[in-house]
Amino acid sequence: MKILGIDPGYGITGFGLIEGQRGQFQLLRCGAITTPAGMDFSARLEMIYEDMRRLLEVTKPDVVAIEELFFGQNVTTGIGVAQSRGVILLAIRQAGLEVYSYKPMQVKQAVVGYGNATKHQVMDMTKRLLRLQSAPKPDDAADAVAIALCHGRASTSLLAQIQNP
């Protein structure tokens, strides 16, 4: 199964494509969709949408896993990220793919085994689980790979098999 993980953003949207078979995963590719800071916001959203459509066409994932939004201190930034996530979800929907959403704590739990793990711990375990020399770059891509791993590990768990016979 090919899983595309997405870490949504409007400046940088990370992506990570992994392939899983019998609980073993390998990284196929990762990177980021970027938009210029000075560009009109609606044009940035259009760029994210078009780049996501092309990414889905090129990578041909079986499913997509995307991070749910967490509104911390800066609600204004959160609204922009939510709009970016919306155009990403539209592109996924139009591609006819299933999409699964995971909270940051679920990603940490699935990858590290501890829901309050640090970003460094998640990156280190991602590197170990995929047998990589170093963590994926940029950080947004590393986060997206962790999101893909979260889905891969959740979808192959015994609980998922019981719930989806």
**What residues act catalytically?**
7, 67, 140
Q: Are 141 and 122 a contacting pair, CB within 8 Å?
A: no
Residues in the chain: 165
Q: What angle do CA 98, 99, 101 make, to 5 degrees?
A: 155
Of the candidates 63, 65, 146, the residue with the CA atom closest to the CA atom of residue 107: 146
Rounded to an integer, what distance in angstroms lies between the CA atom of residue 122 and that of residue 146? 7
Residue with tokens 């196929």: 28
